[in-house]
Structure 1
Amino acid sequence: MVTKPRTSGLTALALAVGAGLAAGAAQAQDKGTVHLAYVEWSSEVASTNVMRAVLEQAGYEVDMTALSAAAMWQSVATGDADAIVAAWLPTTHEEYMNRVGEDVEDLGPNLDGTKLGLVVPEYTEVDSIAELNEHTDTFNGEIIGIDPGAGLMGLTEDVIDTYDLELDLRSGSGATMTAALANAIANEEDVVVTGWTPHWKFARWDLEYLEDPENVYGGAEQIHTVVRQGLEDDMPEAYAILDAFEWTPEQMGEVMLMNQEEDADPYENAKQWVEENQDVVEEWLNG
């Protein structure tokens, strides 16, 4: 007589667990795809990849599309993108908000404390823009800037006029600015550069902003999360996560600094940061 093998209780349990996991995976896939748009600024590359990793942890598929600032805002207004976490308000992106504000929903700041100004190493004895003329030789008679068309450069030209500075503004790029900063710090020399927060350089070096008593650079901005109309009804859980997303310039700086490493992969770095900061991430997931 041939005896048929019987499935043991342990095997049956394993099959049941496997079926449960498969069902859970299918359920996660059924959550759909969240489309995120962003501008290729180092800050927004960091934040958008982190949000991608968080939404994927919650079971969503995520698509990311890099666009110009104008196209990014338009994509959310038309519904081609579900969300952006890269809206600089109230000043930098004011024009775009005025244009499409009725077609999008502003969920408020995800980062507070953005800033523009002139930056020096912490060991520099100068504390204020108003003191720069007394130390022109110390700074080789120049301010190290970035791309000539950047809004920050225009503001810095206004600073030179307002304070009647005897330093020349040298244009270049973000990379040449940070290279000059790195070289000066390595040699313990003084240097003054155009700067903004958030930026990875504040995570790498001890730096400080020069005081701006005339307030030419203006006050701080915030980075907001903006979503398309109807997202709350279509994907309430994704909407809640996006609404709860909020972090600090220091946390963003950690990710941005990781992305400066040679052959860095911003997505893999974002996943690593999310894995290492689950206490913060859980607050967003439970938002």
Structure 2
Amino acid sequence: MSPKATRSLGLALAISAAATSVHAQDKGSVHLAYVEWSSTVASTNVVRAVLEQAGYEVETSALSAAAMWQSVASGDADALLAGWLPTTHEDYYARLQDQLVDAGVNLDGTKLGLAVPADSEVNSIDELNEHADQFNGEIIGIDPGAGLMRLTEEVVDAYELDLDLRTGSGATMTAALGSAIDRGEPIVVTTWTPHWMFARWDLKYLEDPQGVYGGAEQIHTIVRQGLEEDMPEAYAILENFEWTTEMMGEVMLMNQEDDTDPYENAQKWVEDNQDVVKEWLGEA
């Protein structure tokens, strides 16, 4: 190729890149709020990568569950991908629903409950009192504001458990679980599906004869009022976003690898699953 042709090609590529950049900037920025649960980290980063593929700039903010919901209700954030309904986030939704828009279900097949190592002799919540000493008289919980914790408090009352519910976070719960399993010690934790812990360790849910935890839940995409009018294409992508527990599990497992970045993992998953992504983009 001649020097002149090379310069022409370079100029054309530069113009094209500049046009793409301007096009992306013209679409604006989408702000996603999330809570640092492994499932939500996976979904938020995947949606970020998809929105960026569509030409949007994307900002993300890690918040507590309560602050995440409030940020979307107030319009400080545009959307959240972690609306566990009808139970886990029932309190937040009931209080803020008039300031929000439910853009639909993005994942089916969730579950809440108490889990123990699979080799535990305990199989049901109503057996816990007999073995309370094994568990140091405690249930390892997560964020104090989570609906799962409120339900577990009801479980403690309903089954008259002689175990204290310890608050913490998703990260402290899994750390305690991993340490107990490494030492071969009994432990009972509050948990949910989908979660990477079930792929890493051999666990089982305790039966709930009284049905306090209820049935399966769904994870909803919740957006601020006015988003559909302000950014109809971005809203459509958020509304179209729906995946399976298996898909989410792939990303969550990638995120558990050492020295790995959830955003880079999401970009790779999006690149490898363009058939699904095109459906979310409305191109299929």
Hey, what does 2:279 align to over in structure 1? 283
SS of alignment partner, residue 27 of structure 2? coil
In the alignment, structure 1 residue 266 sits paired with structure 2 residue 266: no
For 1:191 and 1:97, locate their aligned partners in 2 and report how far apart those are by CA, in whole Å. Answer: 32
For 2:181 and 2:70, locate their aligned partners in 1 and report how far apart those are by CA, in whole Å. Answer: 42
Superposed CA offset, 1:86-141 (max 9, x none): 2222233334333432332211111222322111233445433234456667x456
Hey, what does 1:61 align to over in structure 2? 57
* Bigger radius of gyration: 1
1:208 deviates by 2.2
In the alignment, structure 1 residue 94 sits paired with structure 2 residue 90: yes
The aligned amino acid for 2:237 is: I
- My pick for the range that moved more, 180-189 or 63-72, is 180-189
User: Structure 2 unaligned runs (5+)?
Assistant: none
Hey, what does 1:72 align to over in structure 2? 68
User: Structure 1 unaligned runs (5+)?
Assistant: none
1:63 deviates by 1.3
Q: State the superposition RMSD in angstroms.
A: 3.3
Q: 1:164 to 1:80 in 2, by over 3 A?
A: closer
Hey, what does 1:228 align to over in structure 2? 224
The aligned amino acid for 2:231 is: M
In the alignment, structure 1 residue 212 sits paired with structure 2 residue 208: yes
- My pick for the range that moved more, 153-162 or 273-282, is 153-162
Hey, what does 2:238 align to over in structure 1? 242
Superposed CA offset, 1:217-253 (max 9, x none): 2223222112223322322221111011112334334
In the alignment, structure 1 residue 130 sits paired with structure 2 residue 141: no
1:169 deviates by 3.6
1:48 deviates by 1.6
For 1:185 and 1:82, locate their aligned partners in 2 and report how far apart those are by CA, in whole Å. Answer: 40
- My pick for the range that moved more, 64-73 or 198-207, is 64-73
In the alignment, structure 1 residue 23 sits paired with structure 2 residue 19: yes
- The normalised TM-score by structure 1 is 0.79
In the alignment, structure 1 residue 171 sits paired with structure 2 residue 166: yes
For 2:65 and 2:150, locate their aligned partners in 1 and report how far apart those are by CA, in whole Å. Answer: 19
The aligned amino acid for 1:111 is: L
SS of alignment partner, residue 19 of structure 2? helix
For 1:274 and 1:154, locate their aligned partners in 2 and report how far apart those are by CA, in whole Å. Answer: 35
Taking only the aligned residue pairs, the percentage that are identical comes to 66
Question: Residue 34 of structure 2 is aligned with which of 35, 38, 60?
Answer: 38
| 8 Å CA contact 1:121, 1:185 repeated in 2 | yes
Hey, what does 1:149 align to over in structure 2? 144
For 1:99 and 1:140, locate their aligned partners in 2 and report how far apart those are by CA, in whole Å. Answer: 36
- My pick for the range that moved more, 87-96 or 207-216, is 87-96
For 1:101 and 1:226, locate their aligned partners in 2 and report how far apart those are by CA, in whole Å. Answer: 10
Hey, what does 2:100 align to over in structure 1? 104
| 8 Å CA contact 2:31, 2:58 repeated in 1 | yes
**Aligned residue pairs, count:** 280
The aligned amino acid for 2:96 is: V
| 8 Å CA contact 2:41, 2:262 repeated in 1 | yes
1:164 deviates by 4.3
Question: Residue 118 of structure 1 is aligned with which of 114, 121, 127?
Answer: 114
Q: 1:230 to 1:179 in 2, by over 3 A?
A: closer
Hey, what does 2:197 align to over in structure 1? 201
The aligned amino acid for 1:52 is: R
1:150 deviates by 5.3
The aligned amino acid for 1:44 is: T
Superposed CA offset, 1:139-190 (max 9, x none): 456454125835544533433443344x534626444543443345446665
Hey, what does 1:50 align to over in structure 2? 46
